[in-house]
Amino acid sequence: MNLKSERRGIHVDQSELLCKKGCGYYGNPAWQGFCSKCWREEYHKARQKQIQEDWELAERLQREEEEAYASSQSTQGAQSLTFSKFEEKKTNEKTRKVTTVKKFFTASSRAGAKKALAGKLKAEIQEAKAPSPSIHRQASIETDRVSKEFIEFIRTYQKPGQDIYKQCKLFLDTMSHKRDLSIEEQSECAQDFYQNIADRLQTRWKVPPEKVEKAMDEVEKYIMTRQYKYVFCPETTDDEKKDLAVQKRIRALHWVTPQMLCVPVSEEIPEVSDMVVKAITDIIEMDSKRVPRDKLACITKCSKHIFNAIKITKNEPASADDFLPTLIYIVLKGNPPRLQSNIQYITRFCNPSRLMTGEDGYYFTNLCCAVAFIEKLDAQSLNLSQEDFDRFMTGQTSPKKQESDSFSPDVCLGVKQMCKSLDLLSQLNERQERIVSEAKKLEKDLIDWTDGITKEVEDIVEKYPLEIKPKSQALAAIDSENVENDKLPPPLQPQVYAG
């Protein structure tokens, strides 16, 4: 079987990793194949369309209600009075809102807000230097550490740093009042915030691009560390259900071998085996991180270990066609905890520029493809018959183990003998299953043959019925009443004539 046919269920063209709108950025299955930018555009279009439809529906319902109310009035004067009161109430409400907004944006209010923010900033800096042991303090040790690091970082940016801090505090305060929003709406707020911060640094403060990227990393680290417990795997989503489904699926695929996936990695080489262990460790460690960028870093480290393992095995640089099957094998072997929740968390709250371009975006897109492949993996993808695939999935049997002569010299004799015994038991089990299957088939054939013959006989008898006449009296023998043989001539005797 050639290599091309072996890879038909795993191979993914690089064009399939890109945004399906053709913008050149990496797409994501969670965004229906779009990149972050195009997905937000599509999301806004769909959202505006839905808002417009809801608005039109509300207007129609209100119009129908007004018409029904107007028809129920007895006089035109009563109708005019009611409408006048309605218009007066609407005008008063509008005036009150405008007055409130004007008061909010007056100079005294802005000055008071700045003073309050400056005092809050000083208080947080002092708190970061000397953490208070108050029992009302709910932030964790990690949150305190990240807050202190963030405050020390923004000091190096001077006025832009103060602006960054102010925007971050406003965002966190806003998000604290939006806990009842859906996770998609909270994600949209976070993405808008990232875009707003980047634009302010570039256009208003003229910060160089490399410093903008560093600042965005620190902003993401600060706000997502504080928001993690609220937005990671929330109860309002089915993320946990998806996690359990993926874990169950991976456990059911424990029998998949590297050869079935065409993985170009030889774990018999000690250095390669060490790389595989490190890759599995990195992908598992992803769940322990709070910041989306740190989770992406674990995926990137895992992927680099995979490339190194392939390079050592093949003694040449690895290709993309070698990388994806190996990544699938690592995921199957490691079975990372809360895999779908981590992918969704990164998709929703990571700085979008990291997912659209660069090695982080490339490796993350491949991980999404690997998970999608595992969820849809079938017999054809592994070049197996459907019968063998079903038997492996149900645990009735497993693929043949390694032959004893293929083990490395360091393997003890007991392990070799155990593998031989397991292989023999597997073959005996297969033979037994074939015998039972053939016996059942033979029994069915005999029953079918008997039923067929019986049916044919019944059809012939029905078509040609047999008429049975009553028994007639038998003719008497010629000498039946001649008991004493009287008056009978003697029997003829042969005569001899002399000639």
pLDDT at 50 > cutoff 70: yes
d(CA 223, CA 171): 8
- Taking each helix axis from N to C end, the angle separating 339-349 and 209-231, rounded to the nearest 10 degrees, works out to 130
Contact 264, 322 (CB under 8 A): yes
% residues pLDDT > 70 (the chain) = 74
Range 152-174 average pLDDT: 93
> What residues does CATH 1.10.246.120 cover in the chain?
109-231
Name residue 413's amino acid: L
pLDDT confidence band for 119 (50 / 70 / 90): low
* The two three-digit tokens of residue 297, written as one number: 């870093």
d(CA 248, CA 233): 18
Contact 308, 316 (CB under 8 A): no
What value does the CA radius of gyration of the chain take, rounded to a whole number of Å? 42
Which residue has 């037994």 as its token pair? 432
| The three-state (H, E, C) secondary structure of the chain, written as one string | CCHHHHCCCCCCCHHHHECCCCCCCECCHHHCCCCHHHHHHHHHHHHHHHHHHHHHHHHHHHHHHHHHHHHCCCCHHHHHHHHHHHHHHHHHHHHHHHHHHHHHCCHHHHHHHHHHHHHHHHHHHHHHHCCCCCCCCCCCHHHHHHHHHHHHHHHCCCHHHHHHHHHHHHHHHHHHCCCCCCHHHHHHHHHHHHHHHHHHHHHHCCCCHHHHHHHHHHHHHHHHHHHHHHHCCCCCCCHHHHHHHHHHHHHHCCCCCHHHHCCCCCCCCHHHHHHHHHHHHHHHHHHHCCCHHHHHHHHHHHHHHHHHHHHHHHCCCCCHHHHHHHHHHHHHHHCCCCHHHHHHHHHHHCCHHHHHCHHHHHHHHHHHHHHHHHHHCCCHHHCCCHHHHHHHHHCCCCCCCCCHHHCCCCCCHHHHHHHHHHHHHHHHHHHHHHHHHHHHHHHHHHHHHHHHHHHHHHHHHHHCCCCCCCCCCCCCCCCCCCCCCCCCCCCCCCCCCCC
Which residue has 């129908």 as its token pair? 64
pLDDT confidence band for 286 (50 / 70 / 90): very high
Contact 35, 26 (CB under 8 A): yes
Range 468-472 average pLDDT: 70
Alpha-carbon torsion, ordered 50, 56, 62, 65, to 10 deg = -110
Least confident of 175-179, 243-247, 378-382, 414-418: 414-418
Contact 147, 222 (CB under 8 A): yes
pLDDT at 175 > cutoff 60: yes
Q: Give the burial class of 5: count Cβ atoms within 10 A of its Cβ; 0-12 exposed, 13-18 middle, 19 or more buried.
A: exposed
pLDDT digits (tens, 9 = 90+) for 485-497: 556 677 777 777 6
pLDDT at 35: 72
Mean pLDDT of all residues belonging to the chain: 80
The CB-side HSE value for 79 (13 A sphere, CA atoms) comes to 11
CATH of domain 109-231: 1.10.246.120
pLDDT confidence band for 362 (50 / 70 / 90): very high
pLDDT at 4 > cutoff 80: no
Contact 178, 189 (CB under 8 A): yes
- Taking each helix axis from N to C end, the angle separating 292-314 and 270-285, rounded to the nearest 10 degrees, works out to 170
> Which of 343, 374, 300 has its CA nearest to residue 31?
343
Contact 319, 11 (CB under 8 A): no
Range 101-121 average pLDDT: 46
pLDDT confidence band for 136 (50 / 70 / 90): very low
Residue scoring higher pLDDT (359 or 418)? 359
d(CA 227, CA 119): 23
Least confident of 4-18, 276-290, 301-315, 415-429: 4-18
pLDDT at 3: 37
10 Å Cβ neighbour count for 214? 15
pLDDT at 171: 96
pLDDT at 183: 94
pLDDT digits (tens, 9 = 90+) for 177-232: 999 999 999 999 999 999 999 999 999 999 999 999 999 999 999 999 999 999 99
> What residues does CATH 1.20.1050.80 cover in the chain?
242-394
Evaluated on CA atoms 93, 95, 98, 99, the torsion sign reads negative
Indicate the class that CATH gives domain 242-394. mainly alpha
pLDDT at 482: 56
pLDDT at 138: 45
What's the pTM? 0.65
pLDDT at 46 > cutoff 70: yes
Q: Give the burial class of 460: count Cβ atoms within 10 A of its Cβ; 0-12 exposed, 13-18 middle, 19 or more buried.
A: exposed
pLDDT at 294 > cutoff 80: yes
pLDDT digits (tens, 9 = 90+) for 303-360: 999 999 999 999 998 888 899 999 999 999 999 999 999 999 999 999 988 888 889 9
pLDDT at 101 > cutoff 90: no
Range 60-68 average pLDDT: 82
pLDDT confidence band for 240 (50 / 70 / 90): very high
pLDDT at 367 > cutoff 70: yes
pLDDT at 103: 41
Range 157-180 average pLDDT: 93
pLDDT at 105: 40
pLDDT at 476: 55
